[in-house]
Every structure is written in structure tokens, then in C-alpha cells.
Amino acid sequence: MEQRAGMRRAVVFDLDGTLIDSLPDIVFSFREACVAAGLPRPGEGEVRALIGRPLDEMAEVFTQDVRVVGEVSAAYRRIYPLHFTERTRPFPGAVETLRALRALGVSTAVATTKRSDMARRLVEALGMAGEIDHVQGTDGFAHKPAPDVIHVALEALGAVGEWMVGDTVTDLQAGRAAGLRTYGVSWGTHDAATLATAEPDVLADDLGQLLTLVE
């Protein structure tokens, strides 16, 4: 993307599965939410494969009853905040990469399917708030792969996005739709073969290449 005069550059990151290893707490909370709504407890693998999708869409995989879908989502929003930092930690190198980007004069943003309030609570609880210029959740607008959350994040920063970094196909599709180059990371929800179907500009096992690409 061509940089507009006077505007900072920015790199946008997904949160869960990209910057932080939060899947165990998410999977646990979603499985418990299903039980709370009267559904059988789904398998860990079944839930893990759905991470990154909106809650209602995840629940619809296990029930077509609209009422129960709503109950699962409501139960998750009660349960997850009670457990969201039990096992969740930043991935190795994530904090260092954020610091290095900011040292280069590049703004950093999170664009996540989580609601903004929950995403900010999580980032703060992990001690990462000082390393990220803006945390943007999906609040009342289209979820990824729509680019809305990325556009809102960049508007809040007043910056021009260069890269979208994510661990799912929908992250990469959203980044491309927003006009950003895409950097797929292989340690999260989708493996390298799955990410490759989205044809990212870079597909990597670490964040090291990112720093060389923005210098």
C-alpha cells in the first residue's frame, strides 16, 4: 500500500493464535458453554478448528436451534472472563517483535474477532498493553474475512497499514481485502498447508522476516 504523506506506517496483528497462545482457555470455555446450554461437550479438536469465527457461528456447528445458539454465546461470555488468563501467554518472540516495530517507528494494532472490551482486558492482563498502539475488536460490524475491523483499527491509529499478520485463512483474507500485504504464521489455529490456500505474501514459522520487511 502506498504511504500517504505525513502518515505513520502500521502493522496489524490478529490476537488469538497469532500474538498470544490463548486457545486452551478459549476451547475450555466454549466446551463448558455448550454444556451450560444443554449440549453435549464437543471435542477439543472440533472447537479448535473453529477458533477465529464469531461465537454464534461456532455454536451453529453444534446446534441449529437459534435459542440454544444464543445460550451458548451468553454462557461463553460468562465463563471465559473467569478463565481467560489461566493458561494464556504471549507466544515466544511476540512482545519483542512489537517492541522492535515501534522502535522502527511503525505503529502496531490488534484487529480481532473478540469484542474490544474483552480484547483490551486480555492484552492488559498479559502486560502487553504498552507494546500495542491500538486494540480493536469487532463491535457491531462485519467479522473477518470482511476488512472492517482492520479499517477501524487503522482509522483509530491515523496510520497506513502495510501488513496483516494472522494465523487463520480469514485473517489473511481480511488483510487482503483491506489492501494490506499478508503474513501467515503457522503456530496458531490453521496449519501451514491450510494457510497456503489463502496465498499469503509470506508464510512463516516465526516473526523474524516481518522485521526485515518493514525496515
Strand order in the sheet with 134-136: 134-136, 107-111, 8-13, 159-166, 181-185, 202-204
Domains held by the chain: number = 2
Count how many Cα atoms sit within 13 Å of the Cα of residue 13 in the half-sphere of its side chain: 29
Please name the helix (run of DSSP H) or strand (run of DSSP E) that holds residue 164, with its range, or none.
strand 159-166
Q: Catalytic positions, please? A: 14, 16
| Whole-angstrom distance, CA of residue 114 vs CA of residue 10 | 20
φ and ψ of 133, to 5 deg: -75, -30
Let me know if residue 147 belongs to a domain. Answer: yes
Tens digits of pLDDT across the chain (215 residues): 444 556 899 999 999 999 999 999 999 999 999 999 999 999 999 999 898 889 999 999 999 999 999 999 999 999 999 999 999 999 999 999 999 999 999 999 999 999 999 999 999 999 999 999 999 999 999 999 999 999 999 999 999 999 999 999 999 999 999 999 999 999 999 999 999 999 999 999 999 999 999 97
Let me know if residue 2 belongs to a domain. Answer: no
Q: Is the same domain home to 14 and 66?
A: no
With CA atoms as reference, report the closest residue to 15 among 142, 105, 146, 149: 149
Let me know if residue 3 belongs to a domain. Answer: no
| Whole-angstrom distance, CA of residue 28 vs CA of residue 15 | 18
Domain boundary pick from 83, 117, 134: 83
Q: Residue 42 belongs to a domain with what CATH number?
A: 1.10.150
C-alpha cell at 85: 488468563
